[in-house]
């Protein structure tokens, strides 16, 4: 792709990462889908090769390179549909909380492991009765001397089974008004007494990515596991959510591009009534419309990535991207399955898995509807 974002060193890096994917990931994906989880050793290999948290400073184990490298990693994993390996969630959404809000001692304790693949992270926001409305969470972390006692339940937690360190969104002051002022972020290590991981939830798509319920029953953690300041958790979440929406949009856009490519190839080769499927005007128009929407999405997304790298505030526009690009990708998925005919419904064809997997992107990282509410407020509506 001759995109303005990328220089020669990025192209070289993309080629190296593609080779890694070919060697270490592609041939295992079917097995991972069946297993419902990614083995730890692939995380370690990602870390050894510098593919986790590449933006982080070298003193913490990173490569100290630009966000462009994260973009390349997220794109290439999405192009092949390796959605179970949510490296972008770990590297570009969760670890930045530690990098931005932890003190130096906490950073030295956790960040090198995050870069090497020895520490896999998760973030526990969603609760059984609370989705996108973070202010309504019920999980509490009540201080008792030099410890917090955490009680509550979290659900739909990505990488919830594998994680070694989970950032728990909890209320340290359940009575304060407005409620969001009582929220804090607290790190909990795996195997902490009172912290249990529930079953690996069965999902419509993303089969190889473990998603769990997490339960905290009188789970005691040292006060030194608090990220940043007590009661500031909601503000920290708001600061970082633009990165999360950007990564989700990158995934959806890349999947849309991959789905169109595989469908165009299929429709040129597959014949019906003695002609390629793609040559029927109705189908040609469908493909052209998809290609146009994908081009619009790519142009918008690349401008957002540029602004994000430049440190600009992209909250409103990235919320627009998160509301539009994943929905567009789902329109593409629907039409691409249709153009594959009966084969589109068969697991042996990648379009089948892509269509299942892409469905969740308008839901996670804030639903399409919540994005529209946020944009509306920002427009003063």
Nearby residues of 142 by Cβ (< 8 Å), 6 or more positions away: 148, 149, 151, 172
Q: How confident is the model at residue 1 (pLDDT cuts 50, 70, 90)?
A: very low
Structure pTM? 0.95
Helix (H) or strand (E) holding 187: strand 183-189
Residues 265 and 331 in one domain: yes
- Confirm whether 96 is domain-assigned: yes
Single residue among 194, 216, 231 that ends a domain in this structure: 231
Q: How confident is the model at residue 368 (pLDDT cuts 50, 70, 90)?
A: very high
Residue range of the domain that includes 368: 235-378
**Residue in the structure block whose two tokens are 């995050």:** 114
For 206: left if phi > 0, alpha if psi spans -120 to 50, otherwise beta; the answer is left
Percent of the chain with pLDDT over 90: 93
Residues 175 and 258 in one domain: no
pLDDT tens digits, residue range 324-355?
999 999 999 999 999 999 999 999 999 999 99
Single residue among 93, 119, 145 that ends a domain in this structure: 119
Single out the catalytic residue among 76, 127, 244, 257.
244
Mean pLDDT of 104-131: 95
The domain total for the chain is 3
pLDDT at 129: 84
CATH number of domain containing 85: 1.10.540.10
Mean pLDDT of 120-128: 95
Q: Which of 228, 229, 227, 197 is nearest to 213 (CA)?
A: 197
Q: Is the pLDDT of residue 115 over 60?
A: yes
Secondary structure letter of residue 248 according to DSSP: H
pLDDT tens digits, residue range 199-248?
999 999 999 999 999 999 999 999 999 999 999 999 999 999 889 999 99
**Could you confirm whether 105 is annotated as catalytic?**
no
* Cα separation, 340 vs 216, whole angstroms: 46
CATH number of domain containing 129: 2.40.110.10
- Confirm whether 356 is domain-assigned: yes
Q: Is the pLDDT of residue 87 over 50?
A: yes
């Amino acid at each position: 792709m001759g995109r303005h974002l990328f220089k020669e060193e990025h192209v070289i890096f993309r080629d190296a990462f593609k080779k890694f994917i070919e060697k270490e990931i592609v041939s295992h994906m079917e097995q991972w889908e069946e297993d419902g989880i990614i083995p730890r050793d692939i995380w370690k290999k990602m870390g050894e090769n510098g593919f986790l948290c590449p933006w982080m400073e070298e003193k913490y184990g990173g490569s100290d390179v630009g966000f462009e490298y994260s973009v390349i990693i997220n794109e290439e994993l999405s192009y092949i549909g390796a959605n179970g390996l949510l490296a972008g969630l770990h590297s570009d959404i969760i670890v930045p909380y530690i990098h931005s809000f932890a003190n130096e001692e906490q950073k030295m304790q956790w960040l090198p492991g995050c870069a090497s693949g020895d520490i896999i992270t998760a973030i526990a926001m969603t609760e059984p009765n609370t989705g996108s409305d973070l202010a309504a969470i019920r999980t509490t972390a009540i201080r008792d001397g030099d410890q917090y006692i955490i009680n509550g339940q979290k659900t739909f937690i990505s990488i919830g089974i594998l994680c070694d360190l989970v950032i728990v969104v909890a209320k340290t002051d359940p009575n304060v008004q407005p409620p969001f002022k009582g929220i804090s972020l607290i790190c909990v290590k795996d195997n902490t007494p009172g912290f249990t991981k529930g079953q690996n939830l069965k999902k419509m798509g993303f089969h190889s990515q473990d998603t769990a319920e997490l339960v905290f029953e009188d789970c005691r953690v040292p006060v030194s596991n608090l990220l940043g300041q007590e009661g500031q958790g909601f503000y920290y979440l708001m600061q970082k959510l633009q990165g999360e929406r950007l990564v989700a949009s990158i995934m959806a856009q890349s999947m849309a591009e991959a789905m169109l490519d595989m469908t165009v190839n299929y429709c040129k080769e597959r014949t019906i009534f003695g002609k390629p499927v793609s040559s029927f005007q109705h189908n040609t128009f469908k493909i052209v419309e998809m290609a146009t929407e994908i081009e619009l999405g790519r142009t918008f997304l690349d401008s957002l990535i540029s602004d994000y790298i430049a440190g600009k505030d992209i909250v409103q526009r990235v919320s627009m991207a998160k509301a539009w690009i994943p929905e567009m990708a789902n329109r593409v998925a629907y039409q691409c399955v249709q153009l594959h005919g009966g084969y589109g419904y068969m697991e042996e064809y990648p379009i089948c898995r892509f269509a299942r997997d892409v469905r969740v992107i308008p839901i996670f990282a804030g639903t399409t509807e919540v994005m529209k509410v946020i944009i509306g407020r920002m427009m003063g509506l």
